[in-house]
A = this chain, B = another copy of it.
Amino acid sequence: MKRYTLEEIGKLAGVSRATVSRVINHYPHIRPEIRERVEAVIAQTGFQPNAVARSLVSSRTNIVGLIIPSTVEEVFTDPYYAYVINGISQSCNTNGLILSLFLIHSLEEERNVIQAVVGTGLVDGLIITASRRNREMLATLLASQLPIVFIGQPDNDTNTHYVDVDNVSGGYLATEHLISLGYENIGIIVSYMNKSGEARLDGYKRALNDHGLPFSEDLVAYGDYSLESGYHAMKQLIKRKPQAVFATNDTMAFGAIRALKEAGLRVPEDIAIIGFDDLPSAQRSENPALSTIHQPIQQTGLDAVELLLKVVNGEVQKAQHQSFRQRWLFAKAAAHLERLAREAKNTATS
């Protein structure tokens, strides 16, 4: 398929380059017959304007970059990212944007990639998952003036745009759910990877407090959102004999469940578990069915693109913009599970 230029199309249609450009960009004030003639040539040749040339003059590439500064392992272990990517991709397709994906495999790579992405003007803006605390990267990025939207609250308090779920409410809901089932000695597995962990922990504390339950550091174990970390955290928590445990993401919840099984404990008869994310694997999991807090991950990706687009277009006031989403749902915790849990409270004693 031959590549045409505006000039050539113009020649074929008997008009100038400029007129063809006008037709393509839907300018008003073009004589209908000329428009038709040009459109006919375009249709016949299959002409599409060169994106690079367009970008050069308009200084807009219509490319948005997605940076996921997690280790490789996480991106696989945690289906969370598949959802984020998908949401973003979908929104890009809808908005005529192109998605460039930057997975970071090492710290050195991080530096290089960020440098290149920021410096060469290839992307109009950046979406970054707040997977990990990283102040160095943040500094470079903010200095670049490039429009950026974070997914999840980033680890700094400057005025950055971000899209996030309401982690405090989420933590609160999860904990309250367990309390409502009659548990009093409730453990929590928190991630220290980013702010979301703190926030969910905060919700946990508040729920305990609101229901007159004491908070104890002993019942807090830490993980990094990975299956393994959930497993180890649970092993540690078992010693404290909690009646129930709130794992701050589903992946750690699965790790925790494995630890419990290994210890010969039944879930939820001996120890109840609630997760966070509502991943499909959680929805499908049986033996036991996992209760979990729904997080509209995919929607978050969509919103991030929309927000970024606004930032790029300068439609957002200078003040930092924080878009919260709080559509919280309990995952379909099977009814029988709740029944079991209720029975469990009668037998389990700390």
Contact = CB atoms under 8 A, between A and B. Distances in A.
Interface of A: 1, 3, 46, 48-53, 55-56, 59, 61, 63, 72, 75-77, 79, 81-83, 85-86, 89-90, 93, 96, 98-103, 105, 109, 112-113, 115-116, 119-122, 143-145, 227, 280, 284
Contact of A56 (B56, B77, B83, B227): B56
A89 B61 contact: no
Contacts of A115: 48
A39 B90 CA distance: 42
A252 to B, nearest CB: 14
B50 A52 contact: no
Contacts of A113: 93
B89 A122 contact: no
A86 B99 contact: no
Contacts of A59: 52
A161 to B, nearest CB: 18
A112 B48 CA distance: 12
> How many protomers of this protein does the assembly include?
2
Nearest to A53: B56
Contacts of A122: 51-52, 98
Contacts of A99: 100-102
Contacts of A98: 100, 122
Contacts of A83: 76
A76 to B, nearest CB: 5
10 contacts: A48-B116, A48-B119, A51-B121, A52-B52, A52-B61, A72-B86, A85-B101, A89-B102, A93-B102, A93-B113
Contacts of A82: 75-76, 81-82
B119 A46 contact: yes
A251 to B, nearest CB: 12
Nearest to A68: B89
Contacts of A61: 52
A141 to B, nearest CB: 11
B100 A101 contact: yes
A207 to B, nearest CB: 31
Minimum-distance CB pairs A-B, first 3: A48-B119, A51-B120, A89-B103
A228 to B, nearest CB: 10
Looking at A46, A75, A83, A103, the one whose CB has the most chain B CB atoms below 10 A away is A103
Given A49-B120, A101-B101, 13 more contacts: A1-B145, A46-B119, A51-B122, A52-B56, A52-B122, A63-B100, A89-B101, A90-B105, A93-B102, A93-B105, A93-B112, A96-B116, A227-B284
Contact of A144 (B1, B51, B79, B119): B1
A50 B121 contact: yes
A227 B285 CA distance: 12
Contacts of A105: 89-90, 93
A254 to B, nearest CB: 10
A242 to B, nearest CB: 24
B90 A86 contact: no
Contacts of A119: 46, 48
A143 B51 CA distance: 19
Contacts of A55: 52
